[in-house]
Amino acid sequence: MMVVDPVGVTLLGLPGYGLLWVLALLSFGVFGRRLLGLVHLLRRARPEDRFDQLGRRFWHFVAYVLGQRRLFEEPGIGLAHFLIFWGFVLFAGAFLWNLLRGLFPFLPVPYADEVGVVSLLLEIFAVLVLAAVGAAAVRRVFFPPPHLQQTLDAVLILSLIAALMVSFLLGQGFRGVAQGPSGWSPIGSLLAALLSAWPALAGSSPGLYALMWWTHIAVVLGFLAYLPYSKHLHLLASPFNVFFGTLRPAGDLGAGGAGEELVGGSSRWKEFTWRQLLNGLACAECGRCDRACPALSSGYALSPRTIVHQVKEHLLEAGWGARKDGAPAGDGGGALIGGLVSEAELWACATCLACMERCPVLNEHLALIVQMRRSLVGQGSLDRTLQETLTRMGRYGNSFGQSDRMRARWTQGLDFQVKDARKEPVEYLWFVGDYASYDPRMQEATRATARIFQGAGLDFGILYEGERNTGNDVRRVGEEGLFEMLREKNLRALEKAGFQAIVTTDPHTYNTLRNEYPGGAEGVPVWHSSELLNRLILQGRLPLKRGLNVRVTYHDPCYLGRYNGIYEAPRRVLRALGLQLVEMPRSRSRSYCCGGGGGRIWMEEPPGVQERPAQNRLREALSLPEVQVLAIACPKEMAMFGDAITTTGNEGKIAVKELSQFVWEAMEIEN
C-alpha cells in the first residue's frame, strides 16, 4: 500500500496544489507586507555605516547565530535553544523543499522526507526539539526564572513548534504503516509498529499521512504569517542584528551616526540610527540583561530589556502610525522620553556594560540610553548635582571644581620631583586623572604609584596643570559638546609633551585615551597601571623586599574588565606580592558594578533604592571567609567603597586598597 500524494487530493473543491497556492500566497503576503513595512521604517531612520569589515562580521554571525555562543554561557538552556534553533533551520529547509514540490507537482523530485538521509536527520531533530520544547515548558511552568516574562505569545510559539514536530513524526509513522519499515526512518518505523495495533488507523494510513502532511504545512504557513507580528520577530531580526553589530572596541561609544557627527540625541524614532532601532526588533525578551543589571537589582528605575522594548514600541506606534492599509504613515504616536521611557530610567544607568555582555543577540543598550541622555542634556533635564558637576567641568576641567594649579599638589608629599612632560621628554606620560589627583582618599595611593615608578627607575612625567578630565563619563551622561571641548584641550596638551607611551591608574581615563582619542590603541601605546606593574615585576625592576601574607579579594572595574578585557594583570600583581587572592562569586566578566560609572558618582541617589550597588558588592566581599582587604584598580572605587563601608557600619571589618598601595608596601617593608 502506497501513501497518497498530499497535493494530489481534492480539498475544499480545489486540487491539492491549488489549495496550497492559495494558502502560500496568503501566508507569504501577510508575512511580506509586515516585513517590508518594517524595512521601510528602518530605511527612514538615520543612516549608519555597518557594512565594513565583512569578513569579521561573517565570523560574528557564525559564532553568535550559528554557534549560539552567548546562550552556551548557561549550558542547559544553551543546549535546548541550540537544538530548537537548528531544528528550526532544518525544518525550514524541508518546508521550502516540500512547498516547491507541492506547488509544482510536475517537478521530477521527491518530497524532502522521502530522501533517506534527510528523513533520518528530520526524525532525529524532531525528537531532540520535542525534548528541548518539553524542557522549556517545564521550566516556564514549574521553575520560572524571575527575569523571564510569562506571556501567551511564548506559550503559543512553543505549542506551534511542538505541533510541527508531532505532525511530522505522526506522518512518518503513517507512512511506515502504509509502506513498511525503513532503515532511514527509525522513529517512523517505531511509531508504525505502535499505530499498526489499531486496525482502523492502519487501514486509513495513506489518507492519515496526507492529513499530517497538510497539518504540518498549515502550521508552518500560519506560523510564518504570525511571526513578524509576535515577539518572535527576533528569529528574523537577530541574525541581521548580530551581523551588523558594532566592531568598534566596547569602550568606543562613537557619535551614533553617519560621519560620526555630533548629534543632539534622540527623542523620536527617526532620530535613532537604523541599527539602533533594529535592537528592538531583534530583542528576544529573554531577560538576561535585566538579570545582569546592578541598577535594577538595587531598586533603581531601570530595566535594560524594557528600554529596548519601549524603543521598539515607539517605532511601531509612532513610525507605523494610525494606518488602515498597512503602509507606514509617518510621525504620529506619543512621546518616547517622558512617555514610554522615563527620565529616571535613563539616569539610573551606570554604563557598566553588564547588559550587553550577556545579550545573546548583541543588542547595544548603551547606545540607546546615551542617545536619549543627549536629548535630555540638550533640554536641560538633568539631576541638579550632575548639572553642577558638568558646570565645574566646563569651567575648571575637573569634576571637583578645583583650580588646575591644584591638580599636581599631591606631589608635595614626595621626596623627589616628578618631571613635567611638557618641558622635558619622558618615556611614560602618566595621565593621573581627577580622582587620583584631587580626592584626599586617593592621594596616598597616587603618591605610592609615583614612588613605585621612581623606585623602578622608570622615566616618567605628568602634564601638571595641562591635564584635564578626559571626558569618559561626561560623554556617557550625554554631554557630547563638553566631551569634545575636554578632548580638544587634552590633545593640545599631549601635542606639547614628549613621550613614548601613556600610563594611567584610572580605567575610565584609560578607556577614553585608548579608544576615543585619535591615535589611541593604534597609535601611542596606552597602559593601565596594573599592566605596567605586572610588566615591571616580570622584568625584575621592582625591588620587592617581602611577601604580603594577607587574604584579599579583587573587584574588577567595569571599564578595565568588560570594556577593555584586562582581567589577569591585576591578579598577577597581587599574587606576585604573596597575597592570598580569594575570588568573589561575581568576578571577571560577571563582576558586579560599584555603581559609579556613567556619571552616577555625580548624581543624587533616587528614593526607593534598596541597596546601592557598592553596598551590594561590599556585602559580597564581606561574605568571603577571613578576607581583610578589598583590592581595587580604579580611583573612583576608593570613594564608592569607602562610602559603602561607612554607610553600612563596617568600619574596621574590611579595608579598601588600591593596587599600587600593596606594591609600595611590599617594596618598603624590611624583612
Closest to 330 (Cα-Cα) out of 321, 339, 341, 342: 321
Give the residue-averaged pLDDT of 137-160.
81
Amino acid 181: pLDDT: 83
Looking at residue 185, its amino acid is: S
Residue 253 has pLDDT above 80, yes or no: yes
pTM: 0.92
Grid coordinates given for 246: 558594532
Residues 303, 304, 306: CA angle, nearest 5 degrees = 65
The sign one gets for the Cα dihedral 173, 175, 177, 182 is negative
Amino acid 3: pLDDT: 66
CA dist., res. 351 & res. 596, Å (int)? 9
Where do the DSSP E strands lie in 422-520? 428-430, 460-462, 501-504
Q: 162-185 in b/e burial notation, b at 16+ Cβ within 10 A?
A: bbbbbbbbbbbbbbbbbbeebebb
Amino acid 2: pLDDT: 63
Give the residue-averaged pLDDT of 564-581.
97
* pLDDT band for position 255 (cuts 50, 70, 90): low
Closest to 446 (Cα-Cα) out of 414, 490, 405: 414
Lowest mean pLDDT among 20-29, 186-195, 256-265, 372-381: 256-265
Residue 521 has pLDDT above 80, yes or no: no
Amino acid 203: pLDDT: 73
CA dist., res. 16 & res. 136, Å (int)? 36
Residue 125's SS3 state is helix
Amino acid 327: pLDDT: 47
Amino acid 293: pLDDT: 97
Residue 247's SS3 state is coil
Q: Are the C-beta atoms of residues 86 and 126 closer than 8 Å to each other?
A: no
Percent of the chain with pLDDT over 70: 95
Residues 529, 535, 537: CA angle, nearest 5 degrees = 100
Percent of the chain with pLDDT over 90: 78
Amino acid 145: pLDDT: 78
Average pLDDT, the chain: 92
Give the residue-averaged pLDDT of 385-413.
96
Give the residue-averaged pLDDT of 434-452.
97
With cell 611638557, the residue in question is 422
Give the residue-averaged pLDDT of 590-603.
97
Looking at residue 581, its amino acid is: L
Q: Phi/psi zone of residue 256: left (φ > 0), alpha (ψ -120 to 50 degrees), beta?
A: left
Residues 134, 135, 140: CA angle, nearest 5 degrees = 95
Domains (range + CATH), the chain: 6-241 (1.20.950), 246-379 (1.10.1060), 386-668 (no CATH)
Give the residue-averaged pLDDT of 607-632.
95
* pLDDT band for position 152 (cuts 50, 70, 90): confident
107 secondary structure, DSSP code: S
Residue 265 has pLDDT above 90, yes or no: no
Residue 602's SS3 state is helix
Amino acid 532: pLDDT: 98
Q: Could you report the per-residue pLDDT of 376-394, keeping only the tens digit for each?
A: 999 999 999 999 999 999 9
Q: Could you report the per-residue pLDDT of 27-81, keeping only the tens digit for each?
A: 999 999 999 999 999 999 999 999 999 999 999 999 999 999 999 988 888 999 9
Looking at residue 375, its amino acid is: S
Q: Are the C-beta atoms of residues 216 and 102 closer than 8 Å to each other?
A: no
CA dist., res. 224 & res. 92, Å (int)? 10
Amino acid 325: pLDDT: 44
| N-terminal to C-terminal alpha carbon distance within the chain | 94
Q: Are the C-beta atoms of residues 481 and 262 closer than 8 Å to each other?
A: yes
CA dist., res. 39 & res. 44, Å (int)? 9
* pLDDT band for position 256 (cuts 50, 70, 90): very low
348 alpha-carbon distance from chain centroid: 17
Amino acid 336: pLDDT: 92
Lowest mean pLDDT among 259-263, 307-311, 547-551, 636-640: 259-263
Q: 566-596 in b/e burial notation, b at 16+ Cβ within 10 A?
A: bbebbbbbbebbebebeebebbebbbbbbbb
Parallel, antiparallel, or unpaired for β 428-430 and 460-462? Answer: parallel
Q: Could you report the per-residue pLDDT of 299-336, keeping only the tens digit for each?
A: 999 999 999 999 999 999 988 763 434 444 555 566 79
Helix boundaries (H) for 272-364: 274-282, 288-292, 294-297, 304-314, 343-347, 354-358
Amino acid 464: pLDDT: 98
Amino acid 487: pLDDT: 96
